[in-house]
Structure 1
């Protein structure tokens, strides 16, 4: 063979993957617009200019420069997509005129889909409230009433309606009376931003109605729509699963088949989360892959040409994607399955990485903000890891003809056993690789991980695959042979029961959840850049395995070194930081003492206790704090301590303090909390007036109230009043102090304070004027869920400055070692020094 023929043969064997280059380019454009928010005009001019330059370079045959220019044009196109999705709304969009405060509205619009029933779930702990049954109604806004006239409005949203019965249908025009709000942004650093999430999904309006009568039909359903068959199919599947499967398991079946988790029990959801197997509940490519494998195994026996089974599988895959609302992980998996089907139809070999890049590009075109979502990132990283592992194993596997011959001569029971062992071994290795590769992302987004996922994922795949296959069989039987439906449902209940019980038993008897502040964003990005580069070099045999491991180990060392440096810096800190965490109507104050010690004063809120624990956790993790040296519970009100169980679960605590009265005469909820504290073997101690906590030589933590016997009145009057003094500057935390406790405090010598937390969340009924005159604060911080609680509008020079955590978010007070005036800053606006 001549040199020219050899070169031609090499070119013929070359596999081109152009989308692998286009995917990073369009991603950079999306990230660029998200970071810098360039104008649409700039993106349009850039795109048009780059495309003209690309055409000119192609005409001049400057291929390399033309390729770079085209990639830049694709990046500009990505920026245009993100800017349009994030910023461009109709002028009639209802959310443009809403705020986080509730506003009564009267709306007219159309029901988009069947209402979803949300059954009231029993509280999972004594600290939670029982909520009523609700309905979630997909709704398209068309008009809003302004005075006596109706004006045009727009927007897609859901109406949450309390009640047991609701009679509305898709396509029906209705009149709605509701409380409207716009999703509120994060009030604390590191907290989940509901406003950004709603904006990314273009559903910023939130509607809630107290009664079904607030929704009144005003017209017959609209004419037939192409989406009607999809709605009917989705409603039919949901109804069949709810009717055929026993209660308690129907929610799990609907979750893994349709991706709807409304009926899933909270305890089941929490068990999957704590065992690290929640990815089995999130509808992903794994589910579609199992369904496609099962369907193709049946379709192979269809009589007809060879292209018929993959063609039918392609149609079924497309139908399933539409059925489950085209979620990004499903879209990704459907493109991979579709590429496989098309390749079989045209007798070509599919290229995996090109198909994966195509899926990524399609997700960006569908919704550019999806690439910032944890589920999308984890889905693509996981499937890329599995693909790399398969390629690496194929590259390193060496065939042994003699060993293959020996295997052929073994008895079939031995063959089955050995095949099963090898299969589980490969699944275990795959689960381990995926867990290790996705661990930085999991810790960064969720701050929790469980090694149990390595063992449970291979085990649970079998019953989940069987459950998905039987679900398809159940739906087919309900249409073709209705009499067989109960038998198929009985069979289906067993793998569902096995999954649920396995996860629940593991959580109860062998729970192992690792809670962590997680790595910083720059380290996570660097980790995946290093990992992707090393993986490519390894699979192309350009870098030995030992050097690859060394490079990854070096980057891990950088991460641990950064964490160690942060810990050393925290222990060497010489200032005192007091953070008023925004938890709604409640109290949560974190005090960071010099040299790295941490004190928590209360953690609770009126309403969901998990929200209080999650808000504090976000603040602690943003500061890199893993341990609390002491926790003080001010008094026996749930909105001051009901978030502590979440905190005790996630962080180590040195000791818990409460008043003598609270320990001797506890309420039922306090008894539950104290029992939990004792079971965790955390020291429980009491405090009374005159006592001091020794935490740092230069910091005085003094209890001003109550005495051991307390005062007459409610528990509010016996709140623990904590005075923090550092280098001549003072912060006062009075809890819910009210009369006659207030009089018991102010009868003592006045104490001039710099910052005071408003007693009883700034309530006017606490009559705190005499208290403020006694302590003369320069700053008053209100920890409340109402934005209306502020200082007097006609405040004069020299009067206290008021800050409300409901409006300003987290408020941080910093006392320096030099004794200078405190620096006060809020999360939503800069503080005044």
Structure 2
């Protein structure tokens, strides 16, 4: 066994360094204290005395990475504690921009390093924080004075909701600042000069590769994604790539760096540059590509790995891909120890490692296919036979690498994303060569376009066709039965009704009756982040939408739903309102040709599957500026059950209903909260007489909290109260015999109502 270990170390001498680096970070995460550092240092000294340099270096890496990551974790935790204590209060912070993203995508626009200026809160000094809505002219290295509201995301409360808090911690960020105003301070940070220059080059390349194309078009979005790894736009296109298992073609990492290196080597062979100088040129081109794509961690990992591998050829030693892989790991971890817990890092190393282990075995199995006729000498092959053999070997090599990568990536993709994609083996064989062509055309067009711009425009238009072709291929592959399997772990949900739990007092409800109905859609950002992913993950698309009242936090998401689902019917609470978002929704409904209805008290609207919405109250008069007073109160009748939906109605609306003599009786009451009035008066509560109330609740603003005295009164009256601050979103299964409620945040919380 001792000889086996020695042989293993001899074959991959850098394994102890890589293993020690990973274990050091993990020990810091597990909370191991100072005794680990002392023990590790003593063990390293012992191995040094015995002249076992490799194991000593491995233990040294363990201690070093443990100490560095422990310090980083402490700084992050101290900053996060400050964010929790500050809640969503206002703050003024000075810092330097260290990272940026293009556009206002799903993730934060940038990362700010809080300076140790005495004006900054002491716990935040030296912390990294996420910031949104930075101006377009900001670049890395700029010093900024920011004013805004602090925020740390709660745990996911809705199906398929992205765990933003977990993402922040995995990147070493202490919290988020939602900017209200900013001020550019004098000077910029010299230590970020390289990253600053890289961003400038990236923005230039970003513009050049789509010159002559319409901004926001499919070609523009896909080219920027394929060449630069940019995914801040075009979410409608990525579903096909996800289901076909080819999202990796949008990650500027090992695949792209390898393709760029292959392109560079092909050009160098054409112009007959000597081998040693050619290798240096390939390395230079690889690092230039990593540079112009913004020096992102995946590109830098791959560039460093390629550098170590190609250095073996340069010094005339047989290179080892395994040692190249392991040599990059300690460097990457030391520069950013948080990468070890990130999905991209794990996929990069596991996939390359699996290719190293599995590809030779698969190649041997496919050898009869890859070789020519064993009884015919190669020099006697005709040109056609040589061509066929070359194509067979090329396709066989692609298949071997694709299958090896799939074997390595599938467990991680299943765990993190809840999907299995057998079709990715075939799709990668088809799409990878296309990506190679797209990269080649993009770079050639950008270089030659400096001399003659029409060439740039023509190259980009051709590239647009190729990029859209990749999408259509991915779409076709994803539509093949058995191409992918979604798992419930990915955030799917089952039920007939889903009551979302949104923040800031906003709301959205999906009812699965008929062709699907979306009642309110939250704010635009909430629809994009929460509502749309949940509906898509369960494969539903509402073809009817209903608005309870003309307010942005309810109507804004419905505007996006109109664009996304093209619903056939739209039901609005009023004919006119001062709300710009409501007017936008009304205009978009008319333009799209949807069947438009305006609520009328006493009217009933059939939804299909025996369900219908009964309108109990509408308000056609504008009451000051309070949209909450214009709520359309409705009751859903389905399979013998009555579900009351009051939106953000308050005291005046409840009294109006009681005074009209309308019976608001129900089995279940779904209620929001009026921002400036009391909701859920005792008289209305007694008239409605629900068995369960699902009450919207948020910590901020204070008006969105459920009053404790009211909650006690509800419980004393024998009504069960589900506070969404505790339950998160709620799913409801509707049958003739029962209503089954289940909390998303706490799956063990269930309630069955029977007739």
CA distance in structure 2 between the partners assigned to 1:339 and 1:88 by the alignment:
33
Q: Does 1:246 align with 2:211?
A: yes
8 Å CA contact retained: 1:29, 1:77: yes
What residue is the counterpart of 1:512 in the other structure? 479
Q: Does 1:497 align with 2:464?
A: yes
Q: Does 1:721 align with 2:635?
A: yes
What residue is the counterpart of 1:706 in the other structure? 615
Cα shift readout 1:369-428 (whole Å, capped 9, x = no counterpart): 434433333333433443344301343326978537355334324532442354235424
Question: Alpha-carbon deviation of 1:292?
Answer: 1.6
Number of residue equivalences: 706
Question: Alpha-carbon deviation of 1:467?
Answer: 3.9
8 Å CA contact retained: 2:90, 2:150: yes
What residue is the counterpart of 2:74 in the other structure? 87
What residue is the counterpart of 1:215 in the other structure? 183
CA distance in structure 2 between the partners assigned to 1:238 and 1:719 by the alignment:
50
Alignment match of 1:201 (pick from 171, 174, 184): 171
What residue is the counterpart of 1:782 in the other structure? 696
CA distance in structure 2 between the partners assigned to 1:704 and 1:451 by the alignment:
43
Alignment match of 2:453 (pick from 478, 486, 498): 486
Gapped regions of structure 1 (runs ≥ 5): 1-7, 122-127, 129-133, 522-565, 594-598, 677-686, 696-700
What residue is the counterpart of 1:96 in the other structure? 82
Show the 5 A alignment for 1:520-539: none
Alignment match of 2:685 (pick from 772, 775, 779): 772
Q: Does 1:278 align with 2:247?
A: yes
Alignment match of 1:39 (pick from 25, 31, 35): 31
What residue is the counterpart of 2:347 in the other structure? 378
8 Å CA contact retained: 1:443, 1:519: no
Gapped regions of structure 2 (runs ≥ 5): 214-218, 575-584, 596-600, 623-628
Question: Alpha-carbon deviation of 1:630?
Answer: 13
8 Å CA contact retained: 1:94, 1:205: yes
Q: 1:490–1:12: structure 2 CA closer, same or farther, 3 Å change rule?
A: same
Cα shift readout 1:717-752 (whole Å, capped 9, x = no counterpart): 5443248999xx998544456776875478779889
TM-score under structure 2 normalisation?
0.70
8 Å CA contact retained: 1:174, 1:216: yes
Question: Alpha-carbon deviation of 1:329?
Answer: 3.3
8 Å CA contact retained: 1:470, 1:492: yes
What residue is the counterpart of 1:49 in the other structure? 39
CA distance in structure 1 between the partners assigned to 2:404 and 2:413 by the alignment:
14
Quick check: 642-651 or 245-254, which moved more?
642-651
RMSD: 6.2
Question: Alpha-carbon deviation of 1:287?
Answer: 0.8
Alignment match of 2:320 (pick from 351, 375, 381): 351
8 Å CA contact retained: 2:172, 2:338: no
8 Å CA contact retained: 1:329, 1:376: yes
Question: Alpha-carbon deviation of 1:300?
Answer: 5.9
8 Å CA contact retained: 1:782, 1:802: no
TM-score under structure 1 normalisation?
0.64
CA distance in structure 2 between the partners assigned to 1:237 and 1:693 by the alignment:
51
CA distance in structure 1 between the partners assigned to 2:261 and 2:187 by the alignment:
40
Q: 1:56–1:173: structure 2 CA closer, same or farther, 3 Å change rule?
A: closer
Q: Does 1:613 align with 2:613?
A: no
Cα shift readout 1:265-322 (whole Å, capped 9, x = no counterpart): 5555566556543322211111111122233344568999864443454455455545
Show the 5 A alignment for 1:354-373: 354-373=323-342
Cα shift readout 1:123-176 (whole Å, capped 9, x = no counterpart): xxxxx9xxxxx9969665454758xx9999444456545768x5x676555544
Cα shift readout 1:693-716 (whole Å, capped 9, x = no counterpart): 999xxxxx9979437x98977996
CA distance in structure 2 between the partners assigned to 1:783 and 1:159 by the alignment:
26
Q: Secondary structure at the match of 1:706?
A: strand
Q: Does 1:336 align with 2:305?
A: yes
Q: 1:317–1:341: structure 2 CA closer, same or farther, 3 Å change rule?
A: same
CA distance in structure 2 between the partners assigned to 1:831 and 1:270 by the alignment:
32
Question: Alpha-carbon deviation of 1:795?
Answer: 5.6
Q: 1:209–1:309: structure 2 CA closer, same or farther, 3 Å change rule?
A: same
Cα shift readout 1:35-71 (whole Å, capped 9, x = no counterpart): xxx4352xx313432554576699899x9xx98x998
Alignment match of 2:416 (pick from 434, 441, 445): 445
